[in-house]
Chain A
Amino acid sequence: MPSKTLSVAAIKNGTVIDHIPQGTALRILALLNLTSYPKIATVGLNLPSQSMKRKDLIKLEDREITQEEASQIAVFAPKATMAIIRNYAVIKKIPLRIPDTVEHVFLCHNQNCVTNKDRMSSKFRIIQTGSSIHLECVYCERMYSQDQMKNYIHDV
């Protein structure tokens, strides 16, 4: 009889990010600049989930997510769960809270925005209306949906 257990390996030390909305895991890897992570990163896409029907999952070996990174992840996956693992045991759960602002992470799409012209950080105000999240550039006041935020400062 085939096993019903998912074959996602446990990690010894690192971070497990679970309950990521389906289709968002790769974006979170890009956000954290982990697309060329030199250690083991296990990414599960479209996994069955009781609460979400389908979900994504990320396990990062030897990488502990910081509270600031957790806030950035919350912009895309507000209901994700995050746990720090040491010696195969959960030693800490990082609570996710959508931040009021996100600094120096995303690029503003407006080419005439001062953040793309002067030597400075970008800064976006997070605006949550019901279940939708928008990001408003603090400087040029352009408003973007989560899906539009695909350009990261670390790529430049």
Chain B
Amino acid sequence: MKQNILRGRDIISMADFSKEDILYILRVADQVKKSNPNRLLSGCLMGSCFFEPSTRTRLSFEAAMKRLGGDVIGFADSSTTSAKKGETLYDSIKIIGQYVDIIVMRHPVDGSARRAAEATDTPIINAGDGSNQHPTQTLLDLYTIKESQKSIDGIHIALVGDLKYGRTAHSLAQALSHFNVRLYFIAPPSLQIPPHIANHVKAKQVKFSFHEKLDDVLPKLDILYMTRIQEERFSDSMEYNRVKDVFRLTLDQLGAVRPSMRILHPLPRVREIDPSIDATPHAYYFQQAQNGLLVRQAVLSLVLGKIE
């Protein structure tokens, strides 16, 4: 049996993970799915530190912990914490780290998760740091891609929408660059993938191209990864109104796609995917969200050293 390489490790950025690490986590997620070990984390306490509001990710982590018999303390909003009184993140995390076995943290500032990890020996799981990283979202995306296509190697995948600010797109592009994939970045020019991510993908010799229209590449795809155009990222409402409906996927666009093509979305969706698509076999975003629970159960169990 493989030794648990994640025991006690911080989960901060996909850049810290090798292809082997990723495949190991995905295998353990499969193991959790099959065995449903409901007392595995009994006696373990998770600190759920959400300095920025989140519904899905927070509930998913808390449910993952509780369904494995663990317990949770924490906060869902920084207005109730000492951060409001001017306490540094470093100090807050140093203290919280003394109370719990593992910390799951979301914070609006880029790089805050890495900083938090310096403050404590208690493992930190990054549940989103500003526009930087959201590694468990990426792991569940990869799990879902593998589940739906049987393999990650060899697939053609398009990342669509707000690729400039969307951290899920950044992390996923980085992680996919470990695999033999073909990437299509589809976005309005003002929201294209940042150069530092494109450079990373290029350095790994993964083929990629930039597009402004979805229809051009739809028939080539195995995975269509849609993301939300985030209104809060625009200082100019005219610019937002100009791009918000550019990448709206409707049923009539799916006529020429591969039968096995699956549509993913980190959710919440607003207007990007027409609800009439939900009933087609191409819609896979709800299974994807469900996989979030499994993957987070796997990550918590691995980091807490309760599973091999």
Contacts and interface: CB of A to CB of B under 8 A. Distances in A.
| A, B: real partners | yes
Interface of A: 110, 112-115, 117-120, 129, 134, 136-143
Interface stretch (B17-25, B125-133, B282-290, B300-308): B125-133
12 contacts: A114-B111, A115-B111, A118-B89, A120-B115, A137-B111, A138-B111, A139-B111, A141-B15, A141-B133, A141-B196, A143-B199, A143-B200
Interface residues of B, number: 22
A110 B199 CA distance: 18
A30 to B, nearest CB: 24
Contact of B109 (A114, A137, A142, A143): A114
Contacts of B89: 114, 118
B291 interface: no
Nearest to B200: A143
A114 B196 contact: no
Contacts of B129: 114
Contacts, number: 56
Contact of A112 (B131, B195, B196, B200): B131
Given A113-B111, A119-B88, A141 B199 contact: no
Given A112-B130, A114-B115, A139 B88 contact: no
B90 interface: yes
8 closest A-B pairs by CB: A139-B111, A143-B196, A140-B110, A140-B111, A114-B111, A114-B115, A114-B112, A139-B114
B199 A140 contact: no
B289 to A, nearest CB: 26
A47 to B, nearest CB: 34
Contacts of A136: 196
A142 B110 CA distance: 10
A112 B110 contact: yes
